[in-house]
């Protein structure tokens, strides 16, 4: 452990010297901050320093203990920056954070400009589209869990899986493969009004092949014809699910 601390101090001194030389040359920098929770459920705040030359320095993570208000966050960040010779009011042009309420308030307190991370915002927007269900009641939009709608979707998905299952069983019994077996056109495909229904149907199809080695063997024969090799059946990558579903008839 002593060797680790010794090496850490060596690297910290080197980073401090490099940052100081840039600041003394008249350069200014910006910050990116993000909170991290470890597997042991410990909270940390990571700080990166960016220069306009594209060079990035990671100042390490701050351990967060107890309540961590915006005011406490400002003090902790300023203390950490001073360890590397960085003065917030003098050297920092802007900082980028996520859209958490605490970080928004942090940005207002800081003397530099604050920008919210687009990646975080886009991620939240995509999750809202994919997973949240909303109804419009006049001026109010209310998020609900539509049980009847889910039951209807389940019935449609089960009907689709049943048709596909019968086609696979028929091919296995006959021993002769036909393209028609895998080009089933779902009668109600035009009734799909949102992406949630499409994702659910595709996941059910993936589950059908993943849990049945026999049906997967039949599938791989067609996969090999199309792609030249076998492919793994997965349903965890959302982009691949939606993209493949848009190019296939359900």
| pLDDT confidence of residue 222 | 81
- 19-23, 139-143, 214-218, 227-231: range with lowest mean pLDDT: 139-143
Please give the share of the chain, as a percent, with pLDDT higher than 70. 66
- 8-17, 88-97, 221-230: range with lowest mean pLDDT: 221-230
Mean model confidence pLDDT for the chain: 76
CA gap 116, 95 in Å, rounded: 9
Q: How many CA atoms lie within 13 A of 96 on its CB side?
A: 12
Split at pLDDT 50, 70, 90, the class of 192 is very low
CA gap 55, 123 in Å, rounded: 26
| pLDDT single digits (tens) 11-38 | 999 999 999 999 999 999 999 999 888 9
CA gap 138, 5 in Å, rounded: 62
SS (H, E, C) 4-63: HHHHHHHHHHHHHHHHHHHHHCCCCEEEEEEEEECCCCCEEEEEEEEECCCCEEEEEEEE
Please determine, for residue 190, whether its predicted confidence score (pLDDT) is greater than 60: no
């Amino acid at each position: 452990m002593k060797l680790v601390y010794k090496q850490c101090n060596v690297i910290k001194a080197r980073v401090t010297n490099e940052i100081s030389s840039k600041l003394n040359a008249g350069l200014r920098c910006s910050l990116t901050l993000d909170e991290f929770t470890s597997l042991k459920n410990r909270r940390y705040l990571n700080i990166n320093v960016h220069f306009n030359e594209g060079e990035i320095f990671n100042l390490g993570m701050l351990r967060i203990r107890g309540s961590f208000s915006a005011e406490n966050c400002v003090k902790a960040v300023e203390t950490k920056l001073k360890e590397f010779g960085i003065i917030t009011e003098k050297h920092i042009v802007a900082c980028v954070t996520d859209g958490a309420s605490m970080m928004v308030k942090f940005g207002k307190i800081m003397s530099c400009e604050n920008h919210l991370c687009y990646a975080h915002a886009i991620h939240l927007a995509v999750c809202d589209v994919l997973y949240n269900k909303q109804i419009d009641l006049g001026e109010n939009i209310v998020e609900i869990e539509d049980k009847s709608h889910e039951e209807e979707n389940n019935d449609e998905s089960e009907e689709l899986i049943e048709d596909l299952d019968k086609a696979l069983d028929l091919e296995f019994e006959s021993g002769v493969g036909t393209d028609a077996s895998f080009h089933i056109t779902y009668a109600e495909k035009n009734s799909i009004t949102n992406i949630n229904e499409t994702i659910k149907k595709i996941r059910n199809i993936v589950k059908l092949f993943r849990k049945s080695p026999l049906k997967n063997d039949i599938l791989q024969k067609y996969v090999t014809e199309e792609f030249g090799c076998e492919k793994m059946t997965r349903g965890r990558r959302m982009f691949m699910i939606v993209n493949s579903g848009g190019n296939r008839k359900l």
